[in-house]
Structure 1
Amino acid sequence: MMRKIILLLGLTSGCVCGFEVNVTQASYSAKENDNITLRWTFTSHRNMLLSSLWIHCEIFAQGKAPVHLFRLQEGVEVPAVYKGPFTERLQSDMGALNRGKIILRLFRLRLEDSGLYRCQVTTREGRKSAECQVIVTASNVVNEGVNGTLASPPPQDSDDHNILRALLLTAIAAAVVAALAAGYLLSLIL
């Protein structure tokens, strides 16, 4: 009986139970022209071959057709799927796949890069996907001033500036008091 249990444990030790795909960060906020790195993890094991992997990553932007970002078929990257606005602004890390990681780097973000990014992983153990939201905002927001001229936003006082002002005023007051006291003492001596 003990030999059967040991044999069963030996056979299942290389198996991945509970195949999962997870995103390491559910939401990203960035400004135009920033660079970000999107990361997903998937259950892998030491005997897993890249040739057994199928990965498909894409972006779903509101009101637009999905854009394919990355595709791996039987362990081979399919570069022809890089389309449209991501040409030359997307980089994948093929070395990370052996460690159960999908890493996509997006360069020089644009406002239209905002959307839902999904990666789907298919192996012998199953098919799962995970997604994250990317929100890209304008890098410089300028207010309109009088007569349609451009004006910068008004400067805001920070707590640090207020503390420095208070210290400076206190130092000036102390110097005035010290000068008055010195003058009074001199008048007593003379």
Structure 2
Amino acid sequence: MICRIPLLISLNCICGTFVNVAQTSYQAEENHNITLEWMFTTTTDTSPNSLYIFCQLITDHTAPVLFELHEGVEVPESRDQQFAGRVQWDKDVLRDGRLRLHVSSLRTEDSGQYLCEVMTNSGVNSSDCRLNVCAARDQPEPERPNTDTPERPNTASRGRIGLYCGLGLTAAVVVVVFVSYLFIHCQSDESSGGFTLSYSSA
């Protein structure tokens, strides 16, 4: 009997509740969503009905409650107004020793240290992670206005217009010269008596 006491103590330490975070630090942008995750040890006699989970945000001045689970039942009325309507959790993975909290529409004041305490039949433990929510980026620069207008054509359009005008003027000059040449030639034929056909007989 005396020999079994150290063994029982050792087993109790090994089977005690251990809580860890999926990652120690999160970075997100304002108005985006994020999933915070904790993992805790479970045993064969661990059931959702025996779980007590309490999560809160720790800041320099406040400690608003993010999530509370009592005997496997969520207690939404304990949630701070800061997180009202913005927190969802996955019930399916709770039995596997995972707590996933989905926080939507992030705000900059959501930044801070998130502490989660888990109590099971085997004991109680806690772990925390850091979330930093930065302000939303400035609105993207508006597209450059189209300056290719009749009032103010851009440089490329001005070049094309000049080219077309030059080609048009050249064609007009060619036509005028050709018509003038025909006109002068016809006048000279008429003054000389027109066309003369000559032939000789054998």
**TM above 0.5:** yes
Conserved in 2, the CA contact under 8 Å of 1:16 and 1:125? no
Deviation string, structure 1 residues 138-173 (Cα, Å, up to 9, x no partner): 11148xxxxxxxx96xxxxxxxxxxxxxxxxxxxxx
> Displacement, 1:45?
2.2
For residues 58 and 81 of structure 2, the distance between their equivalents in structure 1, rounded to whole angstroms, comes to 13
TM-score, L = length of structure 2: 0.60
Give the structure 1 partner of residue 55 of structure 2.
57
Which amino acid is the alignment partner of residue 88 of structure 1?
A: G
User: Which whole-Å CA distance do the structure 1 matches of 2:77 and 2:29 have between them?
Assistant: 28
CA distance in 2, matches of 1:128, 1:75: 17
Indicate the residue corresponding to 1:67 in structure 2. Answer: 64
* Counterpart in the other structure of 2:99: 102
SS of structure 2 residue aligned to 1:56: strand
Deviations 1:36-75 (A, max 9, x none): 1000000012331212111101111232x21111111122
- Normalised by the size of structure 1, how large is the TM-score? 0.64
Q: In structure 2, the residue corresponding to 1:80 is in which secondary structure?
A: helix
1:127 paired residue number: 124
Q: Which has the higher strand share?
A: 1
Contact 2:17–2:119 (Cα < 8 Å) also in 1 = no
The answer to whether the Cα contact below 8 Å between 2:113 and 2:128 also exists between their aligned partners in 1 is: yes
Moved more, 87-96 or 110-119: 87-96
74, 79, 82: which one aligns with 2:79: 82
Letter in 2 for 1:67: P
- C-alpha displacement at 1:23, in angstroms? 0.5
Report whether the alignment pairs 1:41 with 2:39. Answer: yes
Q: Which residue of 2 aligns with 1:20?
A: 18
Q: CA deviation at 1:16?
A: 6.0
Q: Which residue, 113, 133, 138 being the options, matches 1:136? A: 133
- Aligned-residue CA RMSD in angstroms? 2.6
Aligned partner letter, 2:104: F
Mapped partners of 2:73, 2:87: distance in 1: 17
Q: Which runs of 5+ in 2 are unaligned?
A: 142-202
Q: Which residue of 2 aligns with 1:171?
A: none
Contact 2:46 2:120 in 1 (8 A): no
Give the length in aligned residue pairs.
135
Higher CA-based Rg: 2
Contact 1:119 1:129 in 2 (8 A): yes
